[in-house]
Amino acid sequence: MTRPLVECIPNFSEGRRPEVIQAIVQSIRRAGAVYMLDVSSDADHNRTVVTFAGPPEEVEKAAFVGIKTAAELINMNEHQGVHPRFGAADVIPFVPLRDVKMAECVRIAQRLGERVGNELKIPVYLYEFAATRADRRNLAQIRSPKFQYEQLKDAIQTDPNLTPDFGPAIVGDAGACIIGARKPLIAFNVFLNTDNVEIAQKIARAIRASTGGFAHLKAAGFLVKGRAQVSMNLTDYHQTPLFRVIEAIRREAQRYGVFIESSELIGLAPQAAFIDAAEWYMQLEGFTADQLLEVRIAKAEAEAAQAPLAQEEPPLPQEATSAMINVSSLDQSRRPSAFVEAVAKDKALPGGGSVAALAGALAAALVQMVAGLTVKKPRYAEKHEQMKTIVQRAESLRERLLDNVVRDVDAFRALMETVRLPQDDPERLTLLVQRTFSAAEVPLSVCQQSLEALELSAEVVEHGNENAVSDAVVGAHMAYAAIAGAAFTMKINLIGFEENEQAIAMQEQVNRILRSAQELRDNVLQKAMVRTGLSSS
């Protein structure tokens, strides 16, 4: 069985600072069980298009975190770029990909818009299928080269037509968000062999729907990388094929004595659009997509998966074990020794906090492995959807816990540097308090994430592939060790802050996690004993 899939393609107003782009992308990746499909940045547009997909609830959660991160890191008062924009998280569309109707994407857009408006205090405008007003269905009617952030900032408080769907009628440093639901589109740019941007603008006017050109085509002219660019969105490539638009641009360019130098695809696009273009340019007769090697292979694999033999589980032949790795014979280059050797050195870093985080990451990895082995087996078909979700959650946990391996080192190093400051430094005490809590927050995060890994291990022990129960149990032990070690590390970091309210709250939280972890671990072991036959009750 397949899972419902929704695609989200947020456009962020940042294309020049890699560290900001990376922070936004990482926040999305860690926020939910989603597939990060593509990241495309352009410095002239000063814009990044991110594409990710996943189950509806996970995509909605990840989109909110991406918007929040962008709002924290991007100041629209300092932003300059050739592309029109309203805000830090400028446009956030949702597209139904598989087993999801457009109505569900509309509901996602509405819920997200309400949350962004209420929690982040950012004005939100709904567009396309999610629009609440006819004049907001078309994105170009909301935001345009002549009406963007600077104009909205002044007009939103006085023009009733600009009252947002959600959030305040005040534009702050993060600007506004345009959130919607739409069909797949193709973002496609054509570069001309000239720096005369007026030619690109004239061509855009000639081909776009709003000025009498092709239906389902939006276009504008910009100067990008020293070349005139015709920037386009094809909102329905079935009705207005890509090749037809390119040929129109070619003919219009000839009128001005220029030609197409190159083109580029922004983000992702449906394969069918390019098959159509190849078929038209190559003048293929009787061509079908089934003649593509990759398509034929995928079809054959799908058919094989439905064959009767694929539903059976024959016993594992003894000779098959010869393919398994003999750990004792691994050469040194394949041993995971670098981190262990770093810990073994007579230096403070990396230390116990990082090791606890790594233990949690290994726990999540084992959970992911067991869930993945369950999904592969037809006999567990009724558990496949549950296990696929666990695979995604465990992968996200593993990445976040691995990040905490490094974060623990960085936080402790910063604390030690503060301790070494001169006693008479006026900022020393403030920095000492701040960095002490920063150092304590990392192991607390490890405890929270490892508890989630422990909860997932309980699920795979009970419902996962019975041949991998022992792996799940090891994962549970690793998760508990991570929690116990990280909890002790956090408590050590907070010595001397026993009367501090924040420290008290953190101590209470970690104690609750420890109690839950103890109960969970015992429950996992009991279930594993019964399921493996080591105990009858």
Q: Domain 5-181's class?
A: alpha beta
Paired strand residues for 38:
51
Nearest Cα to Cα of residue 32 among 6, 60, 71, 9: 60
Nearest to 192 by CA among 127, 282, 257: 257
Rounded (5°) CA angle 134-138-144: 125
- Omega prior to 96 cis, within 30 of 0: no
Tell me what pLDDT residue 330 has: 43
> How would DSSP label each residue in 347-384?
SSSS-HHHHHHHHHHHHHHHHHHHHHHHHT-GGGGGGH
Tokens read off for 213? 């050109």
Q: Model-level pTM?
A: 0.55
* CA–CA distances in Å: residue 238 to residues 100, 127, 190, 285, 461: 20, 21, 20, 19, 48
For 334-532, CATH number out of 3.90.1300.10, 1.20.120.680, 1.10.357.10, 1.10.1380.10 equals 1.20.120.680
**pLDDT at position 327:** 42
Residue 495 confidence (pLDDT): 85
Please state, in angstroms and rounded to a whole number, the distance separating the CA atoms of residues 130 and 394. Answer: 32
User: Using one digit for the tens of pLDDT, what is the confidence trace for 84-100?
Assistant: 999 999 999 999 998 99
Does residue 83 have an active-site annotation? yes
Stretches in the chain below the pLDDT threshold 70: 1-2, 301-339, 347-348, 535-537
pLDDT at residue 114 in the model: 97
Write out pLDDT tens, residues 360-381.
Answer: 999 999 999 988 898 888 888 8
Q: Among candidates 482, 479, 243, which has minimal Cα distance to 355?
A: 482
pLDDT on residue 179: 98
CA distance 98 to 54: 10
State the pLDDT at residue 329: 43
pLDDT value, residue 2: 60
Catalytic residue among 83, 384, 463, 477: 83
SS3 at position 346: coil
Residue 245's contacts (CB-CB under 8 Å, 6 or more residues apart) are 188, 207, 214, 217, 232, 234
Q: What is the pLDDT of residue 328?
A: 42
Domain positions in the chain are 5-181, 186-269, 334-532
- What pLDDT shows up at residue 304? 60
Q: Residue 132 and residue 343: Cα distance in Å, rounded?
A: 58
Residue 286 neighbours by CB under 8 Å, 6+ apart = none
Superfamily of domain 186-269: Formiminotransferase, C-terminal subdomain (3.30.70.670)
